[in-house]
Structure 1
Amino acid sequence: MSLLEISNISMNYHSIKGETQALNNVNFQVDDGKFISILGPSGCGKSTLLNIMSGLLEPSNGSVLYKGEDVKKNLDKIGYMFQKDHLFEWNTVWENVILGLKIKKQLNSESKERVSGLLDAYGLTRFKNHHPSELSGGMRQRVALIRTLALNPEILFLDEPFSALDYQSRLLVCDDVYKIIKTEKKTAIMVTHDIAEAISLSEKVIVLSKRPSSVKAEIPIHFSDEELTPFQKRRAPEFSEYFNMLWKELNDGNG
């Protein structure tokens, strides 16, 4: 059984001008421990699909099953990383990363020890008493990810998590985030508009068509050297092949 099963998802929006169909009969599966990216033309409904998959939005039709159950019955298994880090500037790094635990009344000696271990493992212990304004953009994203991981979710949803960073920072943070997700053995689903980002991070890329969006292609990504970092993958011989393949899928009539 797949960890997540997306079946016949459709989404319609209603306004005084009429009905707009954003998603039409979207189907695919996500296996445990995999990193999946969703690509598609601008405005095709990638973030809408992510919100439906994570249980934040109700589809017009179809279902999302988590281990065979309605995803909304398993919201405690889900972590969500948004485009912006949403750190509270008046809180320290430590206060930010334990916030979810405090809200859910799960802050205890065991959870504190786990969060301390995450900060230590990913180079943030000496910044635990700093405020977000004292951190680089990449460090802020690491803090945001650790805050999400503090609740120990099984699956992570990432909505263009690097889009607020400059290009150089994006390359560095991609490596950081990938390492953390793989080390913590989490399943991840990321929405991105960046083909290179999708290839370097993912084990499979889902390509959506233009609106009303459906799955146009599912491209497995495999590099002969499995130890490469996302940055190193960009220089591997397979990279340009995948780039050309995905570029063609995105621009070949897109429908």
Structure 2
Amino acid sequence: MNLLYINNISKNYHSLKGETPALDDINFKVEEGEFLSILGPSGCGKSTLLNILCGLLEPSTGEILFKGAEIHKNLNKIGYMFQKDHLFEWDTLFENVTLGLRIKNLMTDTNIQRVEKLLEDYDLIKFKDHYPRELSGGMRQRVALIRTLALNPEVLFLDEPFSALDYQTRLAVCDDVKSIINKENKTAIMVTHDISEAISLSDRILVLSKRPGSLQCDVSINFSNKEATPFERRTEPEFKNYFDSLWKELDSK
């Protein structure tokens, strides 16, 4: 089932020096339960597109539909995970993950129990009274994801969520995040500049051209080992073929 329709999206920025095109006529669909990555060279408009998709920016032309309705009417169905975890150092882990619920006055028994179940399922419950400074980088990213999931969104937008982590931690957290997203049956759209990361996590990858970003190719990712984790995918025989193909696409313009 198609969850998101992206129709004829373009974006131009205006300044005293004139008009700068950032995105040009982008069209695609996202299926429910899909993990989609957006890949492209630096400055191609990846983050701009992500911010348009989740309603933070207005496109110059085009529309975003969520189950057939305008995206701004469905902002409560959206979760956004930033490059940095943005945890409040003066709040405990539990206070951080319930931040959205507290802001929206949704601290019901049902929601609190759901958050505690998430913390228990993903090995964080014993740290609920700890502060962010007492957590590892990987744990902080899991907390940030659970904070996003606490409001039970249907689709998650991930803006280079692992870029602040060291390489070894990134590999472990990729497995954690993919596992959590799969178990919670969420749709995810991630922006990244890392080809390996995109291949290891995604069901599908969109490649944008250089600015103004346009849709250069749409690649389905299929591994014969359907149960492979993101880390295990990196050692599968298909991985190198996908990497070489995507590298050529990125290097073609």
TM-score interval, normalised by the smaller of the two chains: over 0.9
Partner of 1:132: 132
Alpha-carbon offset, residue 35 of structure 1: 0.1
Query: Which residue identity is paired with 1:35?
Result: F
Aligned positions of 1:162-241 closer than 5 A:
162-241=162-241
Partner of 1:12: 12
Q: Give the percent of matched residue pairs that are identical in Structure 1 and Structure 2.
A: 67
Alpha-carbon offset, residue 220 of structure 1: 0.2
Structure 2 CA distance for aligned equivalents of residues 55 and 236 of structure 1? 37
Structure 1 CA distance for aligned equivalents of residues 48 and 173 of structure 2? 25
Q: How big is each residue's C-alpha offset from its partner over 1:98-129, in whole Å with a ceiling of 9 and x where there is no partner?
A: 11001111111000000000000000011100
Structure 2 CA distance for aligned equivalents of residues 153 and 107 of structure 1? 16
Partner of 1:44: 44
Partner of 1:35: 35
Q: How big is each residue's C-alpha offset from its partner over 1:135-154, in whole Å with a ceiling of 9 and x where there is no partner?
A: 00000000000000000000
Alpha-carbon offset, residue 71 of structure 1: 0.5
Aligned positions of 1:137-156 closer than 5 A:
137-156=137-156
Aligned positions of 1:16-165 closer than 5 A:
16-165=16-165
Structure 1 CA distance for aligned equivalents of residues 148 and 44 of structure 2? 27
Structure 1 CA distance for aligned equivalents of residues 2 and 242 of structure 2? 25
Structure 1 CA distance for aligned equivalents of residues 161 and 211 of structure 2? 23
Structure 1, unaligned runs of 5 or more: none
Query: Which residue identity is paired with 2:141?
Result: Q
Structure 2 CA distance for aligned equivalents of residues 6 and 125 of structure 1? 38
Secondary structure of the residue aligned to 1:80 is strand
Structure 2 CA distance for aligned equivalents of residues 193 and 107 of structure 1? 37
* Count of residue pairs the alignment pairs up: 253
* Deviant stretches of 4+, over 3 Å: none
Q: How big is each residue's C-alpha offset from its partner over 1:219-240, in whole Å with a ceiling of 9 and x where there is no partner?
A: 0000001100000000000000
Secondary structure of the residue aligned to 1:11 is strand
Q: Give me the CA root mean square deviation.
A: 0.5
Query: Which residue identity is paired with 1:19?
Result: E
Partner of 1:243: 243
TM-score between the two structures when normalised by the length of structure 2: 0.99
Alpha-carbon offset, residue 2 of structure 1: 1.4
Q: How big is each residue's C-alpha offset from its partner over 1:147-206, in whole Å with a ceiling of 9 and x where there is no partner?
A: 000000000000000000000000000000000000000000000000000000000000
